[in-house]
Amino acid sequence: MKKMIIAGAIALFLAGTWATPSIDTTHAATTPNIMVDGKSAATPLKSFYAGDNLYIPVRVLEEFYPGTLKWDNTKKQLNITGSGTSSVLIPGSESIQWGGGQYRLDSQVLLRQGHVYIPVTALNTLTGADSKLNTAKSSLEIQSGNVSSSVRTPAEPLAVAKEDAKVKLYAALKEGNMYKGYILEAGGVKHPFAWESPRFVQYPPELYYTDINNDRQPEIIVILTLGTGTGIVEQELHVVNSKTWNETAVPKAYEAARTLVASTITKDKEDTLVNLVIKGSSPSTVSIRMPGRAEDISNLGTSAGIGAVTYYSVESGKLTAKTSVGVGFGESIGTLKLVYKAGKTGMEPESVTFIPFDEYPASIKKQ
- Phi, psi for 261 (deg, rounded to 5): -130, 125
DSSP 295: G
Rounded average pLDDT over 349-362 = 90
Rounded average pLDDT over 136-150 = 80
- Mean pLDDT estimate for the chain: 86
Judge if 334 and 297 occupy the same domain: yes
- Give the number of other Cβ atoms within 10 Å of residue 137's Cβ: 11
For 327-358, letters b (16+ CB in 10 Å) and e give bbeebebbbbbbbbeeeeeebebbbbebebee
| Residue 41 belongs to some domain of the structure | yes
Q: How many CA atoms lie within 13 A of 62 on its CB side?
A: 12
Number of domains in the chain: 3
Judge if 171 and 130 occupy the same domain: no
| Residue 361 belongs to some domain of the structure | yes
For 153-196, what is each residue's pLDDT tens digit? 667 899 999 999 999 999 887 776 788 889 999 998 999 999 99
Contact in structure between 184 and 193 (CB atoms under 8 Å)? yes
Judge if 294 and 242 occupy the same domain: no
Domain boundary among 248, 278, 296: 248
At residue 210, the pLDDT reads: 97
Judge if 141 and 167 occupy the same domain: no
Judge if 243 and 263 occupy the same domain: no
Cβ-Cβ contacts under 8 Å for 366 (sequence gap 6 or more): 282, 283, 284
Identify the CA nearest to 272 among candidates 309, 302, 306, 307. Answer: 302
At residue 326, the pLDDT reads: 92
The CATH number given to whatever domain includes residue 82 is 3.30.457.10
For 280-317, what is each residue's pLDDT tens digit? 888 899 999 999 999 999 999 899 999 999 999 999 99
DSSP 311: E
| Residue 197 belongs to some domain of the structure | yes
d(CA 240, CA 161): 13
| Residue 12 belongs to some domain of the structure | no
Judge if 215 and 130 occupy the same domain: no
For 28-87, what is each residue's pLDDT tens digit? 447 899 999 888 999 999 999 999 999 999 999 988 887 789 999 999 999 998 655 678
Judge if 236 and 302 occupy the same domain: no
At residue 178, the pLDDT reads: 84
DSSP 15: H
| Residue 38 belongs to some domain of the structure | yes
Judge if 188 and 119 occupy the same domain: no
For 88-124, what is each residue's pLDDT tens digit? 999 999 998 876 678 889 999 999 999 999 999 998 8
| Residue 126 belongs to some domain of the structure | yes
Judge if 142 and 59 occupy the same domain: yes
DSSP 156-203: S-SEE-TT-TT-EEEES-EETTEEEEEEEEETTEEEEEEEEEE--TTS
| Residue 90 belongs to some domain of the structure | yes
| Region at 117 (left for phi over 0; alpha for psi -120 to 50; beta for the rest) | beta
Contact in structure between 107 and 94 (CB atoms under 8 Å)? yes
Judge if 167 and 232 occupy the same domain: yes
Judge if 101 and 136 occupy the same domain: yes
Residue 334, domain extent:
253-366
Which residue type, as a one-letter code, is found at position 316?
S
Domain boundary among 248, 271, 290: 248
CA distances to 112, 313, 315 from 120, in Å: 16, 35, 38
| Residue 10 belongs to some domain of the structure | no
Confidence class for position 141, pLDDT limits 50, 70, 90: very high
CA distances to 1, 62, 85, 367 from 42, in Å: 53, 10, 25, 67
Judge if 178 and 258 occupy the same domain: no
Domain boundary among 232, 248, 264: 248
